[in-house]
Structure 1
Amino acid sequence: MTRRAIEPAGLADAAQHHFTPAIVADGTLYVSGQVGTDDEGEYVGDDVRSQTRQAFENVETLLRSVDRGLGDVVKVTSYVVDIADNYEAFHSVYREVFPERPFPCHTALGVDSLASETPLVEIEVEAPVDEDL
């Protein structure tokens, strides 16, 4: 199996948290959970909508680095804090990001908290890529 780390400019330093933003392995891009932080690691807001938008912008940065876009995503896993209260806000952004069929496969999980108190959403994706990246 071949494996290559994807660490483009424009994202906060993931190494300090001991993970790689994305890895390409055997024709698939696996994106680590992205949260609503800017390239300095600062959260863009304290609400679900703004954090979801930023998390998807971070996903787009990773996809662009391997010549892909959101339309190439085949699987999304979303973790939403207090999902009963926050799902509609999350899902309104999700519908903007994926407006047309075929939609990616999607699993949305409600969680009590994420790695710290600040993130309200974390998003992982998978997308096919060229083998020769």
Structure 2
Amino acid sequence: MTKRAIVPPGLKEAAARARMSPAILSGTHLFLTGVTGGDAQGIMPAEPEAQIRNAFTKIGMVLHEAGLTFEAIVEMITYHVGLRDHFELFDAIRLEHLAEPTPAWTAVEVAGLRREGAVVEIRVIASTEPGGGA
């Protein structure tokens, strides 16, 4: 099975620095690296809402680069520092981006994330099959 890196232009520098691919296309699935809420300049906002919105924006960029939309997402795993402090906000923003049938979702409380100040990291798997958002 072949695999191909998906790197949107807006994430090329960050991907090169981290030596990782924002996503890997393998077979009929796109596997996205966990995304935190740093802004376009790499600055982590203090506000959870800004972080959550930035993370979904970056996910959208990666999906778009692969020719997909949020409708292609089949699974989402989210990691939260202080889950109960921002869960309702996260859920509301999540539903702004995802339509029925919503993807399978697991939310996990963690003690910390790699990026200093990050309160959420989102990892998704999307399908490239017809009807999967392509």
Give, in whole Å, the separation in 2 of the partners of 1:62 and 1:95.
19
Gapped regions of structure 2 (runs ≥ 5)? 130-134
Amino acid at match of 1:31: L
SS of the equivalent of 1:14 reads helix
**2:120 aligned partner:** 121
Give, in whole Å, the separation in 1 of the partners of 2:110 and 2:47.
16
RMSD of aligned residue pairs (Cα, Å): 1.4
Q: Deviations over 1:21-66 (max 9, x none)?
A: 10001111000011112332222x2122111111010000000011
Give, in whole Å, the separation in 2 of the partners of 1:48 and 1:91.
12
What displacement does 1:126 show?
A: 0.8
Give yes or no for the alignment of 1:16 onto 2:17. yes
Give, in whole Å, the separation in 2 of the partners of 1:66 and 1:116.
25
**1:34 aligned partner:** 35
Give, in whole Å, the separation in 1 of the partners of 2:21 and 2:100.
30
Give, in whole Å, the separation in 1 of the partners of 2:128 and 2:30.
6
Confirm or deny: 8 A CA contact 2:36 2:115 kept in the other structure: no
Amino acid at match of 1:108: A
Between the aligned residues of both structures, percent identity stands at 33
Confirm or deny: 8 A CA contact 2:75 2:126 kept in the other structure: yes
Give, in whole Å, the separation in 2 of the partners of 1:46 and 1:97.
22
1:39-78 matched pairs, under 5 angstroms: 39-43=40-44, 45-78=45-78
Confirm or deny: 8 A CA contact 2:81 2:113 kept in the other structure: yes
Higher helix share: 2
**2:101 aligned partner:** 102
Amino acid at match of 1:60: G
Gapped regions of structure 1 (runs ≥ 5)? none
Confirm or deny: 8 A CA contact 1:4 1:24 kept in the other structure: yes
- Tell me which moved more, 51-60 or 79-88: 79-88
Give, in whole Å, the separation in 1 of the partners of 2:39 and 2:85.
25
Give, in whole Å, the separation in 2 of the partners of 1:102 and 1:78.
18
